[in-house]
Chain A
């Protein structure tokens, strides 16, 4: 069965550079969530989209932005990268909003040097 696809799996960037992370949800899923998991930390919610509109916002820095496209894939854009942005970034998708099981991708490991 198709799962949530994230690309790239690994990314190394220098400070002050930009990065774009992509997430392709499970087919027919219309809701996408982004989570950030720092080293030794639990995943923290960043932002979510439902039907291409932002549905909720968590602890996402102003340097980050995201959107969901017409094919429901989502991109997380990160600018002016800082060392502290090094983390595993997860995308999850569901069908509809609320009370449903979120399927997670394998994550993108971003390392800022």
Chain B
């Protein structure tokens, strides 16, 4: 069955430090992958997506993600984290025209 794995439930980083959130997918030779961010009690906002082409994808708010087929990974990165980045981040893969989400990673930012 298709699955998206986010191995880290919680991550804490210092403001200004770099960030990498891990995501592994399990289905498809040409996966369609997404990263969403969710602030408490809010909806899901799309940060970036990968359909094909360049494996390094740029998103909003200074985020980027790199698709690595050999590792079945689509890790999200940001060079310098801001306190406003504290939220929950979901990796998702399109499967049969719907999205399958990972369990999410809660990001805490300490000053």
Residues of A within 8 A of B (CB): 31, 33, 35, 41-45, 48, 55-56, 58, 88, 90, 92, 97-99, 101-107, 109
Residues of A within 8 A of B100 (CB): 45
Binds A, one of B19-27, B42-50, B66-74, B75-83: B42-50
Residues of B within 8 A of A (CB): 32, 34, 36, 41-46, 49, 51, 90, 94, 96-104
Looking at the assembled complex, report how far the CB atom of B14 sits from the nearest CB atom of chain A, in whole angstroms: 25
Compute the total of residue contacts between A and B using a CB distance below 8 Å: 53
CB–CB A56/B96 < 8 A: yes
Residues of B within 8 A of A35 (CB): 99
In the assembled complex, the Cα of A35 lies from the Cα of B99 at a distance in Å of: 9
CB–CB A90/B32 < 8 A: no
Looking at the assembled complex, report how far the CB atom of B91 sits from the nearest CB atom of chain A, in whole angstroms: 9
At the interface, is chain B mostly helix, strand, loop or mixed?
A: strand
Which partner residue on chain B sits nearest A104 by CB separation?
B44
Partner of B99 from A31, A55, A102 at Cβ < 8 Å? A102
Residues of B within 8 A of A105 (CB): 43
Partner of A90 from B41, B43, B102 at Cβ < 8 Å? B43
In the complex, 24 of the A-B residue pairs with CB atoms within 8 angstroms, ordered by the A residue number, are A31-B97, A41-B103, A42-B90, A42-B101, A42-B103, A43-B44, A43-B90, A43-B99, A43-B101, A44-B101, A45-B100, A48-B98, A55-B97, A56-B97, A56-B98, A88-B41, A97-B97, A98-B94, A98-B97, A99-B51, A102-B99, A103-B46, A106-B43, A109-B41
Which partner residue on chain A sits nearest B90 by CB separation?
A42
Residues of A within 8 A of B104 (CB): 42
Which partner residue on chain B sits nearest A88 by CB separation?
B41
Residues of A within 8 A of B45 (CB): 104
